[in-house]
Amino acid sequence: MLNRKFIPLTITCCLFFLLFGIGSVQFEGFGSTQVFFNLFSDNAFLIIAAVGMTFVILSGGIDLSVGAVIALTGVVCSVLISRYQLHPLIVFPIVLIGGTIFGAIMGAIIHYYKMQPFIVTLAGMFFARGLASVISEESIPIEHEFYNQVSAFGFEVLGGAWIGSSTIICLVVLVIAIITAHYTRFGGRVYAIGGDANSAALMGIPLAQTTIRIYAISAFLASLAGIVYSFYTFSGYSLAAVGVELDAIAAVVIGGTLLTGGYGYMFGTLMGVLIMGVVQTYISFDGTLSSWWTKIVIGLLLFCFIALQQLLIKTTPR
């Protein structure tokens, strides 16, 4: 017997495969492992950022700064690597630590000054993007042997699909996140704060420490997503990844996590990203939609999906 709390997640998974199936029937080449694994490699940075976002949303908060942090990370990486000739393996720890501190500061402001996450992270978004454009308005290419090696790394699976380093990184992140969320005390605290921060505090949960950690993790993962993004594009650009925060939020929510906090699963977030990716792939395979129809169809598909999800979850006998 399936545990009833997993029903929504199962329904979401089924709908994903339904969508994928429809595409495969309709278009030649859609139902290939290549297209399937492209969903991972194309969205690796989004999966990583959305995993961070899941922690934040589970705790009842929100982090609007992830897109900007991705851009800032890319810009800093490319400047340090291309202009200052530092080795990427020196640069990565720098940006990851920098990102983590940035997140921790946002978390501290949210907790100590009792400010709303939405606004603090919105300011954080302006700040990170602003800093990125001050560092460099132009996009900077990254040319480094290490990047070529990393991007060449990977292995082929059946059907000619390629599992590259980004896919591997994002899956590792996902597994660690699942363990953290569901098998550590920290994970329990995140859910607790999301359920009711006041009660959690009265139960002895260290609010300050947990909140700061949550935003630090989100920003750390956003930085990591920035690094993965830089592998994706071999460059850093202050206008990169605009609106990724909204994509990440949408993915988390489609994956069944409640925005008010306290309910949801890491794995659902992966499904959320994949579903949005399939919708996009579907549209580009179709290739006849004009710009505006693209938007309308994305909106409609999103709606159909969520409506179906709601309907199935509501009518499933408990």
Closest CA to 130 of 73, 76, 72, 83: 72
Residue 281 beta carbon to other proteins: minimum distance, rounded to whole angstroms: 5
Q: Which of 8, 99, 124, 268 binds other proteins (CB under 8 A)?
A: 124
CB 254 within 8 A of CB 247: no
Entry field: residues in the chain: 318
Residue 235 CA to residue 70 CA, distance in Å, equals 12
Residue 278 CA to residue 253 CA, distance in Å, equals 16
Question: What is the token pair recorded at 27?
Answer: 């278009």
Residues paired with residue 140 on neighbouring β-strands, in sequence order: 236
Residue 30 CA to residue 188 CA, distance in Å, equals 40
CB 66 within 8 A of CB 217: no
Return the number of the residue (84 or 114) whose C-beta is nearest other proteins.
Answer: 114
Q: Which of 134, 157, 172, 176 binds other proteins (CB under 8 A)?
A: 134
| Under rule CB under 8 A, residue 312 binds other proteins | no
| Under rule CB under 8 A, residue 254 binds other proteins | yes
| Under rule CB under 8 A, residue 192 binds other proteins | yes
Closest CA to 251 of 3, 96, 39: 39
| Under rule CB under 8 A, residue 240 binds other proteins | yes
Return the number of the residue (93 or 226) whose C-beta is nearest other proteins.
Answer: 226
Stretch that binds other proteins, among 8-16, 84-92, 212-220, 279-287 (CB under 8 A): 279-287
| Under rule CB under 8 A, residue 205 binds other proteins | yes
Q: Which of 220, 237, 265, 267 binds other proteins (CB under 8 A)?
A: 237
Residue 123 CA to residue 25 CA, distance in Å, equals 46
| Under rule CB under 8 A, residue 153 binds other proteins | no
| Under rule CB under 8 A, residue 27 binds other proteins | yes
Residue 92 beta carbon to other proteins: minimum distance, rounded to whole angstroms: 18
Rounded to 5 degrees, what are φ and ψ at 206?
Answer: -75, 100
With CB under 8 A, what is the number of residues at the site for other proteins? 110
| Under rule CB under 8 A, residue 22 binds other proteins | no
| Under rule CB under 8 A, residue 85 binds other proteins | no
| Under rule CB under 8 A, residue 159 binds other proteins | no
Q: Interaction with other proteins in 54-83: which residues (CB under 8 A)?
A: none
Q: Which of 28, 158, 315, 317 binds other proteins (CB under 8 A)?
A: 28
| Under rule CB under 8 A, residue 38 binds other proteins | yes
Closest CA to 249 of 213, 222, 230, 227: 222
Number of H helices and number of E strands within the chain?
13, 4
